[in-house]
Amino acid sequence: MKKNYLLLFILLSGIAFAQKESVTTTIDRKIDDAFNFINTGNPNKAIPILQKINADSKSINYKLGILKAGYALNLIYYNKADYNKVITLSDEAIKAGKEIKSYVYLSHIHRNKGNAYGELGFIDNSGKEYFQALEYAKKLKDKNEKYYAVALLYDNLGGYYEKIKAPQDSVFAYMAKALKEVEKISDNEANKSMVAAKYSLIAFEYMCFGVEYSKLGKPEIAEDYFKKSLEICESKKFMSLIDEIILLSEMGRFYYSQKRYVEAIKYAERGLLTEKNSGSAKIRRDLFETLSKSYLEINKTKDSKKYLNLFTILNDSISKVEKETVNISSNDIATKQDENHLANIKKISVIYILAAGILVLLVAKYWKKRNIKLKKKYEELIANLELKAKENTEKPVAFKENAKQKSLTIMDETVNVLLEKLSKFEKSHKYTKQDMSLPSLAGQLNTNTKYLSEIIKQHKGKKFSDYINGLRIDYITEQLYINPTYREYKTSYLAECSGFSSREVFTVVFKKETGVSPSYFIENLKSR
C-alpha cells in the first residue's frame, strides 16, 4: 500500500550527507523548514519553499537538493492525488539520484511513482517501478534502512499482484514477507523515527490483513487484525497520521459490512476528526460515505443526508481531477514514446519510409477488418435485443455445464432450489447494486458462498464476478435499446445505474461482454 510523510521524516532526519559549500547548507536548512510544515499538517505551505529550493539547487547543480526537494514534493502531490505531477517530478529526481547513487531515495521515489501509476490504472508501469525500486532497496548498506525499504516494496507488490488477479496466496505471501522484513528492525535503534516507522508499517500490514480477510468472508479473523493494528496506532510507537486515518476508515467500512452500524459510525467519526489535519480528500470521501450509509441504517435520516451531500460534492470534485489527471498522464506517456520513436526514425529514415508505407496498408486493412467485426458484433447484439423484445421475456445469461470435474458435490434438490432462486434474482435487477458480492448474495439466497460459487460456475459457466457483470451489461443494453433517453446519459451515469463502481470498469466489461464499446453501441442506436 502507500506510506507517506513519516518516510520523508526518516530520510531527512536519519541520513547525513557532506555539504559542498555554504549555499548548500542554506538549501538543506530550508528543506528542514519545509519538512516542519509537512510534519505539522501544513503541506501546502511547504510547496512554494520546495519549488524555490529545487530552482536554487538546479542553478548551482546541487543534485542532493534537487533530489530532496523533488522527493518531498513527490509525496505531497501523491497525498493530494495529483498523480501526474508525482510522475513528472519523479523523473527529474530519479535523474539526480542516479548521478549521486542515492539508492535510498531512488528506491522510495520509484516506489511512489509505481503507486501513482497504479492509481491511474497503468498497472504494468506500476509493476515495473516496484521491481526497479526493489533492486535499489537491496543495495542499501544500512541494514535497518534496507529492511524498511524492502518491506515497503513487498507490501506494494502484494497490492500489485492483487490488481493483476494473481492467486490470493501470492498476495498474502508478499504481505507476510513485508511483516517479516520490517520486524528485523531493532527496537534499540538510535534513530527513533526508524522505530516509529517500523511499528507504523507493522500496524499497516495488520490492517491490510484485516481488509483481505474481510473480503474472504472471515470477519472474526479480520476484526482481530484490525484491533491489533489499532492497538499499535494508539501507542506512542505509531506516528503516521495518514495511516491512522486509513485504518479508521477501513474499520468503519468493515463494521458497516458486518451491520454493526454504531461501531461503524464511531470509527468513521473518529477518522473524520483526525483527517482535519491531513488534507486527504479521498479518505474523507470514504468516511462521508460510510457515515451516510450507517446513519441511514439506524434511521437518522438527517445525519445521513448531511453526509451524503458532503460525499456527493467531494466525490464529483475528485472524479473531475482524476479524469483530467488520467488524460494528461496518458498523453505524457504517449508523448515520451513518440519522442523515442522519432529519434529512431531519424537514424533510419529510408527504412522508415518503406515501413510507413507498409504500416499504412496494414492499418487500413486492420481498420477495415475491425469495422466489419464491430458491425457484425453490433448486429448480433441488436438481433438478440429484438428477439428479446418480441418474446417479452428476460434474456437469460448464457450458461453451460462446466466440462471440468465438479470440485464440490451438491444434492440435485439443493441445486434446483438455488437455480430457481437465481432465476428470481436475475429478474429482480438487484444485481445493479454496487455492493453486490458473493457473501451478500449467498445471504439473500440462504446458502453458503461455496455452494453458490460452485453452482454459478457449473450452471452459468462463469465465475461470480463475470456472472454479475454479464447481468449488468444485459440490463443496460436493453435499457439503451428500448429507451432513447438512456442514449443521452453520460457513460459515468450508465455505469452507476447498472451497478459498476467506475466508468472505466464499465467500459472494459461492456466491450468484453458485447464486443463493442458503449459509445459505438450508442452512436449506432442513434443513427438507426
Kindly report, residue by residue over 273-329, the tens digit of the pLDDT.
877 755 567 888 999 999 999 999 999 999 999 999 998 998 887 777 666 655 555
Taking the CA of residue 463 as centre, how many other CA atoms within 13 Å lie in the half-sphere pointing to its CB?
Answer: 1
- Measured over the CA atoms of residue 79, residue 85, residue 90 and residue 93, the dihedral's sign is negative
Q: Does 17 score more than 50 pLDDT? A: no
AA letter at 336: K
Q: Check: CATH 1.25.40.10 for 5-237?
A: yes
Cβ–Cβ < 8 Å for 29, 66: no
Best CATH choice for the domain 382-526 from the list 1.10.10.60, 1.10.20.140, 3.30.1360.70, 1.10.3720.10 = 1.10.10.60
Q: How far apart are CA 33 and CA 45, in angstroms?
A: 10
Note the Cα 347 to chain centre separation in Å: 40
pLDDT of 198 reads 85
Q: How far apart are CA 27 and CA 375, in angstroms?
A: 62
Cα torsion 197, 199, 201, 207 to 10°: value is -150
Say if 5-237 and 240-333 have the same CATH topology. Answer: yes
- Residue 235 has φ and ψ, to the nearest 5°, of -85, 170
CA max distance for the chain: 84
Domain ranges for the chain, please list them: 5-237, 240-333, 382-526
CB atoms within 10 A of CB 73: 26
What pTM value is reported for the model? 0.52
pLDDT of 338 reads 52
pLDDT tens sequence across 426-485: 888 888 988 889 998 888 888 888 888 888 898 888 899 999 999 999 999 988 888 888
Q: How far apart are CA 52 and CA 256, in angstroms?
A: 46
For domain 240-333, give the CATH number.
1.25.40.10
pLDDT tens sequence across 518-527: 998 898 888 8
Q: Does 332 score more than 70 pLDDT? A: no
Pull the grid cell for residue 361.
496498408
Region 150-162: mean pLDDT is: 87
Average pLDDT of the residues of the chain: 81
pLDDT of 16 reads 40
Place of cell 516494496: 153
Q: How far apart are CA 378 and CA 329, in angstroms?
A: 32
Cβ–Cβ < 8 Å for 288, 253: no
3-state secondary structure (DSSP) of residue 295: helix
Alpha helices in 83-167 (DSSP H): 83-100, 103-120, 123-137, 143-163
